[in-house]
């Protein structure tokens, strides 16, 4: 199989105040997110002048990937398209068609399985290609990478660095807290071909990072950034509730590692660096937040290696035991509306 382009697939974010509401409406279209929740999230974006860092992070990642490709003779032009904000994937796919691209490899900025993290990117590709119509290039999404050393190692280094910010003599009472985006319990149950894949992968990543970074500490995997209507159950505990429990049980400090994400976007800089940090301060807990991979050289190299897996038939590095595959089965990770009753 011959590929002739690379495309970065991401979530998108607003870059000025007037973008924020239309962006939020794109994200929640048809999802039943209450207006009160939207108004709250609007304020989170406004704390940063209506600018999410995520688009710039994508520009930086794409530039680093271009440099990495050039250094390793990967001869593919690079593109970038988002789900929810400009540059929208449909516009990118139109440009790719105009440039004569026929079959691209797509890298989504999410390591895990599940509807929001994986299937929805496949849907974005289908919708963008349908929008462009005849001549739209094919796009094959690269595999999930939750246990790839190029994803795990940057998290390991980041946890070590975050630990150094805390008092060494309190290490014995320091807890390592991994976080990921909460999703509806039903979505978690139907993630992957056999169900439960989102949480199973996160548990594996947490185990791997903990073992390599700070095996002497106790650790937990908890959830953040709950959305949706209140009557729909989402994965719990929320990080803020969990910090209270840890304080009650005698923890003095926490290192928070957002293994659910690849960059320090708004869910990280607001929900962790503001909300969870304030919660910790209120509880008298020392708090240090580990970085996300961002443009860490090993993470950028991973993207290049994932491409080479497809083009040069190289091995598939994996630190864990959960299987990965190139093409998802058609019926896994169904969208909320089509979700089977439990």
Please give the Cα distance from 323 to 342 (Å, whole number): 24
Task: State which H helix or E strand residue 187 sits in.
Answer: helix 185-189
* 52 assigned binding-site residue: yes
* 3 assigned binding-site residue: no
Tokens encoding 76:
């593919």
Tokens encoding 279:
């919660």
Which residue do the tokens 């900025």 mark? 109
To ligand HT9, the closest distance from the beta carbon of 189 in angstroms equals 13
Residues 6+ apart with CB under 8 A from 63: none
256 HSE (CA, 13 A, CB side): 30
Let me know: does 229 contact 179? Beta carbons within 8 Å: no
Biggest alpha carbon–alpha carbon distance for the chain: 65
To ligand HT9, the closest distance from the beta carbon of 194 in angstroms equals 19
Identify the CA nearest to 2 among candidates 143, 142, 145, 140: 140
Let me know: does 206 contact 255? Beta carbons within 8 Å: no
To ligand HT9, the closest distance from the beta carbon of 266 in angstroms equals 3
Can you name the residues that pair with 27 across neighbouring β-strands?
none
Nearer to ligand HT9, 33 or 212 (CB): 33
* Backbone phi, psi, residue 335, to 5°: -65, 155
- CA 108 to chain centroid, in Å, comes to 9
Footprint on this chain of ligand HT9 (rule: CB under 6 A):
11, 13, 24, 27-28, 31, 33, 37, 41, 52, 54, 109-110, 116-117, 181, 183, 225, 227-228, 260, 265-267
Q: Could you list the residues known to form a binding site for Fe-coproporphyrin III, using ranges.
A: 52, 121
Q: Could you list the residues known to form a binding site, using ranges.
A: 52, 121, 181, 267
């Amino acid at each position: 199989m011959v590929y002739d382009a690379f495309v970065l697939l991401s979530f998108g974010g607003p870059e000025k105040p007037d973008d924020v509401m239309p962006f939020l409406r794109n994200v929640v279209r048809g999802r039943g997110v209450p207006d009160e929740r939207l108004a709250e999230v609007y304020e989170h974006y406004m704390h940063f002048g209506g600018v999410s860092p995520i688009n710039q992070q994508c520009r930086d990642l794409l530039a680093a990937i271009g440099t990495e490709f050039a250094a390793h003779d990967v001869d593919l032009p690079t593109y970038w398209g988002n789900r929810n904000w400009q540059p929208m994937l449909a516009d990118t796919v139109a440009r790719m068609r105009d440039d004569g691209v026929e079959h691209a490899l797509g890298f989504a900025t999410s390591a895990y399985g599940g509807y929001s993290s994986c299937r929805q990117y496949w849907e974005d590709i289908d919708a963008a290609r349908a929008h462009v119509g005849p001549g739209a290039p094919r796009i094959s999404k690269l595999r999930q990478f939750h246990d790839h050393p190029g994803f795990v190692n940057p998290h390991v280094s980041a946890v070590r660095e975050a630990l150094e910010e805390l008092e060494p003599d309190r290490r014995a009472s320091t807890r390592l807290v991994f976080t990921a985006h909460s999703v509806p319990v039903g979505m978690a149950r139907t993630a992957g071909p056999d169900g439960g894949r989102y949480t199973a992968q996160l548990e594996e990543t947490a185990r791997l990072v903990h073992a390599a970074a700070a095996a002497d500490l106790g650790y937990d995997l908890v959830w953040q950034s709950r959305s949706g209507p209140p009557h729909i159950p989402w994965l719990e505990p929320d990080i803020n509730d969990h910090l209270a429990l840890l304080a009650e049980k005698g923890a003095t400090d926490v290192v928070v590692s957002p293994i659910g994400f690849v960059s320090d976007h708004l869910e990280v800089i607001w929900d962790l660096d503001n909300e969870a940090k304030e919660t910790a301060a209120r509880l008298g807990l020392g708090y240090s937040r580990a970085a996300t991979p961002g443009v860490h050289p090993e993470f950028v190299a991973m993207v290049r290696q994932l491409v080479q897996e497809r083009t040069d038939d190289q091995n598939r590095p994996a630190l864990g035991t959960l299987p990965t595959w190139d093409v998802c089965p058609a019926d896994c990770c169904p969208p909320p509306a089509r979700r089977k009753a439990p």
